Every structure is written in C-alpha cells, then in structure tokens.
Structure 1
Amino acid sequence: MHVHRTVGDVTRRIAKRSASSRKRYLERLAAAARKGPARGELGCANLAHGFAGAGEVDKDALRRTTKPNIAIVSAYNDMLSAHKPLESYPAALKRAVTGAGGIAQFAGGVPAMCDGITQGRAGMELSLFSRDVIAMATAIALSHDMFDGALLLGVCDKIVPGLLIGALSFGHLPTILVPAGPMTSGLPNNEKSRIRQLHAEGKVGREELLDAEAASYHSPGTCTFYGTANSNQLLMEAMGLHLPGTSFVNPDTPLRDALTTAAGERIPRLTAQGEDPTPIGEVVDERAVVNGVVALLATGGSTNHTMHLVAIAAAAGIELRWSDFAELSAVTPLLARIYPNGQADVNHFHAAGGMAFVIDQLLDAGLLHPNTRTVTGSPFAEAYRCEPALDDGELVWRQAPRDSLDKTVLRGTADPFSPDGGLRMLTGNLGEAVMKTSAVAQEHRLVEAPARVFDDQEAFLAAFDAGELSGDLVAVVRFQGPRANGMPELHKLTPTLGVLQDRGQRVALVTDGRMSGASGKVPAAIHLTPEAATGGPLALLRDGDPLRLDAETGILEVLVDGGELESRDPRATPEPAVGTGRELFTAFREAVGAADAGATVLGFDGDR
C-alpha cells in the first residue's frame, strides 16, 4: 500500500531527529527483556511477598514461574461516570487471562480526576499535572519485577496519556489499553449548548441549567461529546493499542463485555512466553505516532493532544513537534463532525461507521502507515479496517461499511467536510499557539481587534457581567500556562464568548491556558508559548493593543512597534495560589516544561 508523500516525509523527519534518543530507548528495552518471567530472578523473600496474597492455584503458578503474569492497573472510581464501568473489569480480566494460560494480579490504582467537575474550580490547577502523577503511579505499579505484560484500564483526559507514558517506561512489556465506552446519548448537544448560552446571558436559572446538564451526563460511561476522553480512545485505536473497534461500544452491553474478555485472552499471547511477543515500546514507534496525529486531525480531536502526544512520543524516545502537526494537518481531510465541531455525538459517529470507516478511508488515501505493529498480532491495515460484532454470542470482526451511513456526521476522503485537518498552528511576535478550526466558520477565522487583557477567566466573566465587553475584541487571558498555575482549562469562557459572537461582535481568544475539546465556534489561540509567567510577550500586552489572529495564514501577532513593546515592563506574575492541594505541586510548577514540549515534569532519556 502507498503512503502519502507528506506523511512519509514527516515520518522520516521525525525518525531522523529522534535517531539517537530512540536508539537509546530501544537499547533499554532490550536490556530489560528477559527470556523467562522476571520474577524468576527475585530472591525467595521477594517472591514470597509477591504471591502471598494470591489464591492457592495462582500462588503455585507464580512460584513455579512457568506462566506469564499480567499486571492490571486501573483508574477505577465510582464518582466518575467514565470509570464506573471499570469496577467489574479486574475480575473479568483475571478469568480471561487464566483461561488463556496466564495469571493476573491487580498491580495498582492510579488517580482519576474529572475536568468536567473541576471546571472553573481550584482543583483544575492540578489537572494537567495529574497526567504525570498517573505516569509515575503506573511505573510504581509495574516496578515489582513480577509481571510479563499489562492491561491498563482508563478512559479520560489525562488518564490514558499518563497510563501510556508510565507503561512506556516498561516498554519491554506488552500492554493493551482496555476502555469502558461512552454513555448512551442524552440531551441533544445543540440544546445543551443553547441552554448554556441562555444561562450565560442570565435568561435561564441554575435549576434549568442543571436539568439540562443532568440530561446530558446521565449514566455510566464516557461523556459523549468529542473532547479529550473520546480523543484518547480514537488515538489508542489508531496507534494499535486497543483491540479493533473497541473505542466506542457502550458499557454494560454483551459486545462490550466480549471485547473486555478478548483483551484478557489476548495479552498472554503477546508476552515473551507467548507465540507473538509484542513489547509496547516497539508498537509505539514513529509510524504509530504519526498515525495517531493523522487520525486526530481527520476527526477534529482534542487540542490537548498537541501536548499529550508530544509527551507520549518523548516517553518512547521520539521527538514530535507542533510543526509536524501543522504539516500533516495541511494534507489530512476533515472526515467527522462531532460535537463541539457538529451536532452529533460519538454514538452517532460510531453508528455512521465510526473508527473502522475512518481508518479504512485514511488507509486508502495513503494517510496512515499500514504495516505498524499492533496488539492484534496483525499489521494495522489488516486488523483495523474491521469492526467487532457478536455472531451467536461469539466475538467476530467484520469488514466495516465502505460508505458512511450518515454523511452529516461522517464522510469519506472523496467528499470531506474540509480539505485539511481540524488543527492549525499559529506563529508571530507573540510566540506559537494552537487553534482548533474544525468548528470555526470561515468568516470567523480572521479577527483583527483591540485586546482586552485579563489575568484570569474570572476577571473576564466579571467584565462581561458588567457590560464592559462591547465592540470587536480579542480577549487575552494570560498567566494560565503550566508554570503559572498548572495550565487549567478555561471552559467557562466558551458560552460567554459565543454570546458575544452571536451579538455580531468579532471576537477571539488568546491564552497560554487550555480549552481542550471544548474549543468551539469562537477562534481561540491557545497553549501560547512562551507563556506569560516565563517572560513571554503575552505579559507585555495592554488593553487596546491591536491584535491579529489569522487562522488561514497561521499568523498571531500584536500590531505594536517592536521597540515600544520591548520597552514595557512585564506584568508581574500573580503569586501561585494555595489550598485544594495546589501547594503540593510547587515543585511541578517550577520544573514543568513548555506546552510545545509536552508540558511535562518527567525526565525522558535522561534529559532533565
């Protein structure tokens, strides 16, 4: 199968710049690999500790070191809808692993916080850092030299990237990501959005707003809009780390249960003792990373992955840059319209053809690498064009529909919603930023207007409530980067900015903070780096400075003479807040890297 010239060029460029770090990473994998179970090298007291709590049958197998032992690492908690279904997974997976000739132990849990709950609250300042905490917790769970493979249970925003980064530090172990699926569809997204804007204008009260939100988020499973959680699932499938078609099957259904069992049955076969050894560090190579980027772009996925994918790649010794996203975006057509980039939710997307259709189309266009390794044991193109089904209770995979079943939601590469992807990179004298364009109408992609400058989103909302935001404007919300306060998402801005735009004002947002999958119809230059807290030009802006944001040409600039700008004293960085655990993350804020380097505190390849 052919590979598009740009996809091939970008992949080769990534491989070339990553040659040294990738080589060192693979050498570490080879050094960590064992011909037999690693627990065979433990001292007797060490090994006895490792199986003391097991049942008699498992204890005997662990003692003899003849069967592969699989670690289960889970983000289960029963507060978060996306992770509630995971409660029953460990027992089901243990049965499946045992039936396939292995053993499984629950190795550890990782924290799982919800950005939807912490929006606009102090806890949101811990959100991005939780990814690196999860990576560390995953590494701790796998650190006992008891395991020959891993099953990772998680779904939401920072959790899947954290689990994957942690697993890549044990890249010699085979690993399968096991998701839970989205909740069934609730209140239509256009109605939810309408009520949110009415509440922002003071036209409906809290009770009506809460009724709408409760009808939207109503049962166990992932939120159905296409934010970071569902982008995570798409990426794991596009990178060959899920079983095919696993991403968007609803919880508590026979097919979901069968897919979970299949993951448990598959993992022993991927171990060094199995017939198809497949270390995760070899699955996640330059081609798999590019496949993830292309799938994200083709569906208008979450902007958070301009950071998460960079950090994931770095954990595998691969240097991914924002310029790679931009170059791939230019040749990747937009195939999906999923809220907030359309009115459909992920259930509608799945019913219209879903992942198998998208992958089939992108492979035929040469936009995905067809021969990457996967957890199925088959090359990517062979396995991931298929979707799962039950045939008389037996799990089978069948060819996906070759035509979309709903072209308002999902289209092929011959008739895309847009000829290019859903992300743009902006550059100029303010630095570099990311913009999600898939939901922004053409007429709103160029805004030139005076700045209104705020140091947090509460100040912006107060100005709106006071009626101070009249006329065209570019809202600048700064000191929201990783070094300043952990880079919280600024979702509370979305309804208000939408109100201003609907009034006929030309508006845009510029921030060193995050918007994630909630980036919608208002043009938003986000993740701006260098951030204000590290002396970036954003700290020099003043009310009234003319700003130009042009998504078509990729320009973000302040139209002020350079000499005048440099003569200004930067606005002092606000003191970091304390309380709600924020003081515990002082070391993270001091050590964190820039957004375009993954916004991570973790050291990869000994580079910190």
Structure 2
Amino acid sequence: MTLSPKIAEVTDRIIARSETTRAAYLDRMRRAAEDGPVRAHLSCGNQAHAYAAAQEGDKESLAGGRAPNIGIVTAYNDMLSAHQPFETFPARIKEAARARGATAQVAGGVPAMCDGVTQGQPGMELSLFSRDVIALSAGVALSHNCFDSALYLGVCDKIVPGLVIAAATFSHIPAIFVPAGPMTSGLPNDEKSKVRQQFATGEVGRDKLMEAEMASYHGPGTCTFYGTANSNQMLMEFMGLHLPGASFVNPNTPLREALTDAAAERATEITALGNDYRPAGEVLDEKAFVNGIVGLMATGGSTNLVLHLPAMARAAGIILDPSDFAEISAVTPLMARVYPNGLADVNHFHAAGGLGYMIGELLDAGLLHEDVVTIAGDGLARYRQEPKLIDGALTWADGTGESLNEKILRPVADPFQPTGGLAELNGNLGRGIMKVSSVAADRQVIEAPVAIFHDQGDVKKAFRNGELNRDVVVVVRFQGPKANGMPELHSLTPILSVVQDRGHKVALVTDGRMSGASGKVPAAIHVAPEALDGGLIGKLQDGDILRVDAQNGTLDVLTEGVADRSPATPDLSANSFGIGREMFETFRQMAGPATAGAGIVV
C-alpha cells in the first residue's frame, strides 16, 4: 500500500526540521561504535572491578571479551504492581544469556514512582521530573561502558520515556525493552468510575470507595485501563523496541517467561560482535517516531505521551512539534475503545486482536512506515505476528486478520471515528492539547465564564460549596513545570464529571497535565506558555469568557483587554518544600516548555 501523503509530508517535515541535530547525533553514534566492543579497552583493574561479583563461568567469558555482555537496567520495585514481576527477570535473563554463550549483568536500577499513589498528593510534583532522573540514573548505569547491548525493564508512566532517553543517548548500544504485562482483569473500570463519582457527591463512604479500588487494582501487572503505562507498551511495539506481540501478555505465565528469555537471546544477536548489529540510534529514527504517533492516535492513547515523545525524540536528535501530532491525528482513524474511551480493558483489547491486528490494518492503509529498523528484524510487518508457545517452544504466527470484537477494536475501513484521539488547540491563550477520544462531540466546544484557581484542592472546595453548579471553564494555572513540576490533575476528573452530568457545560483549562486516563470532560491541557513563563493564562480573571473549541482547534479569550493586565503573582512557596520538592528546585528553574517535552535532560 502506498504511504499516506499526509504521513509522508509530516515525516519529511520532521526530517527537514531535524537535519542538523540528527546529523550531529548520528555522527556521535558512529564514532562511539567505531571503538568496537568497549570492554577490550578497559584496563585490567577496571575489568576486575566489573567482574568481581560474577559467577565463575561468567568471569572467564567477561575477561575474554569475545562473548556479548548484556547490561540490564531495571526499574524493579514491589510497590508498583506493574514492576513487581521484574524481581525475577534478571536471573532469567542471565540464564538465557548463558545458554547462548553470553553474559548479563544488572548495570543499575532506576527509580520508579507510581502516579496512582501520588495522585492529588505533593509527591505528584516530582512525577514528571522523575522521567529525567530515570534517564540520568540509566546513564550512570551504562557509564561503566561494559555492555554490548542493553535490556531495559520498565513499564509505567515516566519510566519508559526516561529509559528511552537513556537508550537514545547511548545510541551505539542495541536496546530492547522488556515488558512485564498487564494484571488480569478485575472490577470493570466503568463500575470503579461510578463509585468514584458517588464518593465525590457523598452518596457512598470511603469504605465502598476502598473496596472498589482494591477490586480494580488487585494483583501483579500493569493497571488494565488504557493510560500512560499501557500507552507506553503500545509505543514500544509500534516503534520496534519490543519483541512482536510482547506488550500485553500477563505476568507470571509461561508465555511471558518465554518472551523474557527470547528478549535476552535477541540481545545477544544484535550486538556489534555479530553480523546483525542494530544500534538503538538506528531504530530510533524519524519514521519510528511517526509510527509511534500514529499508534497513539489510532488507540486513543495517553496525552502524557505528547510530552514524552518530543523529549525522547530530542535525545535522538529529532525535533517534534505539537502540530505533528495534530496533523497525524487528522488522518489516523480511532480503531480502539479501551477504558476510559470505552468499557473494555487492555486484556479485552489484546484478546480482540490487539496491536498485531492494528499494525497490520494501519500498514495496509498506508498509515505506517514499514521500512524501519526494529529489534526483531527489518520492517514493521514482523509486528503483524503474535507469539505462541507450542510444545514449550516459542514461535511467532500470523495474527488475526479481523477483529474478534468490533465493540473494542475495529478496522481502518470502519473505525469508531475517522480521526485520532487528540486535538491541538491554538489561540490567543497559547497552545494546548485535548484528548477527544472519550469526549462526546457536543462537549467539544465550550464557551463560558472562567473560574480561576491556583490549586486543585481549591477546586474541590468550590465544588463542595456548590460554586461550580453552572456553565464554567475551570482554569487551574501555575501548574506548569516551572511553577510546581506539572503534576497530574486527574483527581479533578470525578468532580468535573459530576458537574457535567448535572447538565452544565464545563471544561478544564490548565498549564498542567491530566492523567493518561483523561476522561469525558473536555480538558485543554499543557497550555504554553505556562503562567509562570509569561503566558496569557496568568492574566485571566474570574468571569472572563473563554472559548475552548476542539473541533476547530482554537483556545481563545473572548474578553477584551486581558493582555493589558498585570499577571497574577501567586505564592508558590508551598510547592518548594516537603516530600523531596526542595531537591528539585533546579529542575523547576531549568524545565523547558511543554511544547518541547518539559524536560531538563535534552
């Protein structure tokens, strides 16, 4: 199938925009690769330190320098359900490597925080910056310069983007991302959401809320809604960094274990020591990032990736712009309905045909670049296949050619909607985005007076006091990366949903961000410039009229004279201390704009 003219146009524009930075990046990668296997250049003392704790058979292989050595970068902790299964992965990987005559070492660990725990809490102000800490931590792990390839163990919100930034920075080292899989299905997400709204209105107590939450988040594995963690897994498959079909296999199953072994085996095959060298910098090219954006739109994925993808791309010398997302969204059909965009969870999505079916459909429609380098082989067509465990042996077979449940997953020719799940908003208030895949069409244009808040807690107080029972655009400002680290405002979703369900027109506008599970309330997020960086959002006052129009892609203040006002000067001292926030002052000062990924590393 001929490539879509729009996909080709956007790709060419990204290539042209990135010409200088990408060329410099590739030159650095090639010079690093020319040095050959790095262990050969370490002194005997250097090497002795690196191998001292290895078991005897491994020591000889490491000292010989002729067998591949895999560096494992792990985000394991047992507080994140998604990461708890990684506890046993290093031992499996080492055994699988030995079976191939290679070795593996845990190069280092990176922090992994759970946004579900910190949602609405002060710790959430460290969440976005944890991506940069993860990238830096992985960089420290790989700085030992002892590895021929790397396996990255991570799943959740900021962890995968941080690890990709590190993989792109160590571009000459082949990189494979190893998922742990989603937990089995628990309480249906729509039932959980209903209980949350009932709690917000006082209809049920905390005991019923806790009961519902524990029934939903109940075991090892990724949360089963389609938020940032599962969007990350989709992204790694569309970009060719997972083994085909690896994303949504449940933890602690024979197939999951076989896929982990296979990742270790593949890591031994794609090093510079062999004949199939696949450095991370070649996998992470402009076409791969375009493919990732297409996947994001086709699945109605997390808005957080509109922050993370530009940051990941910059680490590979590639410059993305919010307009790239909007233009790709305009030609990409929404093929999936997974909560919060529907009632199904990712296990249901996987059973209906999952990513293999989607990739096949999108390739046939000319909406994906097939001619890309992946860790599995040349070309994205390999990712049409799905893994099977037959008589104990892992193999790949052609996936389903049709959706097995069209309430969850539909073909390109008959999608849920003709365009993707994201709209760019651009107007006199600045630039922002809105996830529209779960917002009803009659809710995508809101014109109403604003109510100004500088803290999400104050929004909740106003709701409890009945002050939001009207048509209103709730503006929560000074929530950008420079102000307070850009915490998610997901805890506002239940109360604003209640206001909307009462028949009022309501929208959220913020220079902060929402959860990857942003729901049915229209939310213009990532507004840039942020209030603390001179954005017009900092000059709004209660009662100003704001028009949020996702259908035409505009975000405008209709009240005259707003630009002539002096900006608000909030007291942000409470955001500077406590729960570790004092250690991140430099991050807040150095953070880039949301349009460039809000990062500090690149």
What is the count of residue pairs matched by the alignment? Answer: 600
Conservation of the 8 A alpha-carbon contact between 2:155 and 2:179:
yes
Partner of 2:331: helix, strand, or coil?
Answer: coil
What residue is the counterpart of 1:380 in the other structure? 380
Amino acid at match of 1:262: A
Partner of 1:151: helix, strand, or coil?
Answer: strand
Structure 2 CA distance for aligned equivalents of residues 50 and 395 of structure 1: 33
Matched, 1:590 2:593: no
Partner of 2:516: helix, strand, or coil?
Answer: helix
Partner of 1:33: helix, strand, or coil?
Answer: helix
Identical residues among aligned pairs (%): 60
Amino acid at match of 1:565: V
1:349-368 to 2 correspondences below 5 Å: 349-368=349-368
Deviation of the 1:6 alpha carbon: 0.5
Structure 2 CA distance for aligned equivalents of residues 518 and 18 of structure 1: 31
Matched, 1:569 2:566: yes
What residue is the counterpart of 1:324 in the other structure? 324
Deviation of the 1:516 alpha carbon: 2.7
What residue is the counterpart of 1:108 in the other structure? 108
What residue is the counterpart of 1:97 in the other structure? 97
Deviation of the 1:535 alpha carbon: 1.5
Q: List alignment gaps of at least 5 residues for structure 1.
A: 604-608
What residue is the counterpart of 1:31 in the other structure? 31
Deviation of the 1:35 alpha carbon: 5.8
Partner of 1:492: helix, strand, or coil?
Answer: helix
Structure 2 CA distance for aligned equivalents of residues 580 and 187 of structure 1: 32
1:287-326 to 2 correspondences below 5 Å: 287-326=287-326
Structure 1 CA distance for aligned equivalents of residues 494 and 553 of structure 2: 25
What residue is the counterpart of 2:492 in the other structure? 493
What residue is the counterpart of 1:126 in the other structure? 126
Amino acid at match of 1:298: A
Partner of 2:579: helix, strand, or coil?
Answer: coil
Deviation of the 1:402 alpha carbon: 1.0
Deviation string 1:482-527 (CA, Å, 9 cap, x unpaired) is 0000000001100000000000001000001111322111100000
Question: Which one is further off, 77-86 or 27-36?
Answer: 27-36
Deviation string 1:280-308 (CA, Å, 9 cap, x unpaired) is 10000000000000000000000001110
Amino acid at match of 2:572: E
Structure 1 CA distance for aligned equivalents of residues 407 and 571 of structure 2: 46
Question: Which one is further off, 416-425 or 513-522?
Answer: 513-522
Deviation of the 1:97 alpha carbon: 1.3
Deviation string 1:376-418 (CA, Å, 9 cap, x unpaired) is 123211x101011111111111111111011010000010000
What residue is the counterpart of 1:229 in the other structure? 229
Superposition RMSD on alpha carbons, in Å?
A: 0.8
Partner of 1:367: helix, strand, or coil?
Answer: coil
Deviation string 1:448-491 (CA, Å, 9 cap, x unpaired) is 00001100110110000111112100000011000000000001
Q: List alignment gaps of at least 5 residues for structure 2.
A: none
Amino acid at match of 2:69: N
Deviation string 1:43-88 (CA, Å, 9 cap, x unpaired) is 1211111111111111111111111111000000011100000000
| TM-score, length-scaled by structure 2 | 0.99
Amino acid at match of 2:110: V
Structure 1 CA distance for aligned equivalents of residues 68 and 300 of structure 2: 40
Structure 1 CA distance for aligned equivalents of residues 181 and 474 of structure 2: 36
Conservation of the 8 A alpha-carbon contact between 1:533 and 1:573:
no
Matched, 1:213 2:213: yes
Structure 2 CA distance for aligned equivalents of residues 278 and 73 of structure 1: 18
1:62-77 to 2 correspondences below 5 Å: 62-77=62-77
What residue is the counterpart of 2:472 in the other structure? 473
1:42-191 to 2 correspondences below 5 Å: 42-191=42-191
Amino acid at match of 2:142: L
Deviation of the 1:574 alpha carbon: 2.6
Conservation of the 8 A alpha-carbon contact between 1:74 and 1:108:
yes
Amino acid at match of 2:470: G
Partner of 1:398: helix, strand, or coil?
Answer: strand
What residue is the counterpart of 1:261 in the other structure? 261
Matched, 1:17 2:53: no
Deviation string 1:135-173 (CA, Å, 9 cap, x unpaired) is 000111000111111000000000000011011111000
Structure 1 CA distance for aligned equivalents of residues 361 and 564 of structure 2: 53
Partner of 1:113: helix, strand, or coil?
Answer: coil
Deviation string 1:190-227 (CA, Å, 9 cap, x unpaired) is 11111000000011000000000000000000000000
Conservation of the 8 A alpha-carbon contact between 1:479 and 1:574:
no
Question: Which one is further off, 462-471 or 83-92?
Answer: 462-471
Amino acid at match of 1:569: S
Deviation of the 1:37 alpha carbon: 1.8
Matched, 1:483 2:482: yes
What residue is the counterpart of 1:504 in the other structure? 503
Question: Which one is further off, 362-371 or 393-402?
Answer: 393-402
Amino acid at match of 1:465: R
